[in-house]
Amino acid sequence: MPAAALTLTLPDLRRYAVARSLFKPTSLPQAIQRLGFVQADPIRAPARAQDLTLRHRVKDYRAGDLERRYTRLAVEEDCLVNYGFLPREHLKLMHPRSAKRAWDAKTRAQAEAIQAFVQAQGPCHPREIQQHFNLGSTRNAWGGSSNATTHLLDGMHYRGLLRVQQREQGQRIYSAVAHTPDPRTPHEKAQALLDLVLAKYAPLPSRSLGHLCSLLGYGAPHLRGELRQVLAQVRKTWPQAQVEGQTWFWPEGENPGSKRWKLDEAVRLLAPFDPVVWDRLRFEQFWGWAYRFEAYTPAPKRKLGYYALPLLWRGEVIGWGNVSSAEGRLQAQLGYVAGRAPREPGFSAALDEELAAMARFLGVDAP
């Protein structure tokens, strides 16, 4: 349906956003392909963000399944708008990738030596590389001291000289790699990347679209100019509508007002970086309150909790939950925007089902 023929409301967009992202659970490869990118985070509270995101979209998913199955998937641990996991076909769009800050001759020589070492030895733990090269320490972005080998390995991974082969107890194991760049022109690559983030986070208000374009400069710094040019073009051509004073965009071939976008009765505790809640501007427009990720906020200043998970029911984020396990049993502390739990029929049973599902995902007993 042409965008001009659509009469949309904010509830239409909200229903569309939730229903299209929380699709029927499928296989792990298909879920990652459909999402296009899964943001990662090392904090486990009660599980890593990538696992919390995938558990709603992969049938019978358990915490750690992505890491356990990673070597058998056509997936890379790498960058897009931030750090995470994405299909290899998308990574091709961003290589050869250049960093903002060029290496000096000494660093280039060290990187070449490490790359040759990994090529000769096979997959390497950073500890093996550290023992062989012993590069000492370096100043990190926060003004502190970091292991120089770890810092250089990060840079080599970012530049496409190494890939993450797997993880052992959360530690990256690196292998040599030769990325095959996508043959498309820079303009075509920029178009594909913008299409990718729109498909992942739609519907997007205009301001959020601009923010995502800027963040794509992290995964594709060499395409910044092309991304800005393409963004100016697609703002005129992508399906869009004015809703409550904002221009909203969504992918070709979809109709946000269609009755196909249906909400279910399930309660869901979402990851802080789940696509449904990732865009904080959109979050406030949709649900009328401000969700904040407070893991790095000093404890006395936290309002929601260390790792509060947005609580979704019937297309509304009605509160949050801080979830943990103790002595093999799930524990959940819930808070509600309205100050109390909904009294409507069905909520209590749906919440019990979600907590039981979370317990199975974690491998602990339900509360």
The whole-chain average pLDDT of the chain stands at: 93
Strand partners of residue 267: 313
Whether pLDDT at 138 is above 60: no
Q: Which amino acid makes up residue 332?
A: A
Distances (CA, A) of 222 to 159, 227, 264: 11, 10, 42
Domains of the chain, earliest start first: 105-176 (1.10.10), 267-362 (no CATH)
Q: What is the mean pLDDT of residues 37-63?
A: 97
Within 8 A by CB and 6+ apart from 66, the residues are: 28, 38, 50, 51, 54, 85
> Which of 13-17, 78-82, 133-137, 217-221 has the lowest average pLDDT?
133-137
Predicted model pTM: 0.93
pLDDT for res 28: 98
278 pLDDT band, cuts 50/70/90, is very high
pLDDT over 70 at 139, yes or no: no
The reported pLDDT for the residue numbered 99 is: 86
What is the pLDDT at residue 146? Answer: 54
148 vs 136: CA distance, rounded Å: 6
Would you say residue 170 has pLDDT above 90?
Answer: no
**In terms of Cα–Cα distance, which of 111, 109, 101, 117 is closest to 149?**
111
pLDDT band at 178 (very low <50, low <70, confident <90, very high): confident
Query: How many angstroms separate the CA atoms of 329 and 347, rounded?
Result: 22
Question: Contact, 261 vs 246, CB < 8 A?
Answer: no
The tens digit of pLDDT for each residue in 61-106 reads: 999 999 999 999 999 999 999 999 999 999 999 988 888 889 999 9
Tell me the pLDDT tens digit for each residue of 196-229: 999 999 999 999 999 999 999 999 999 999 999 9
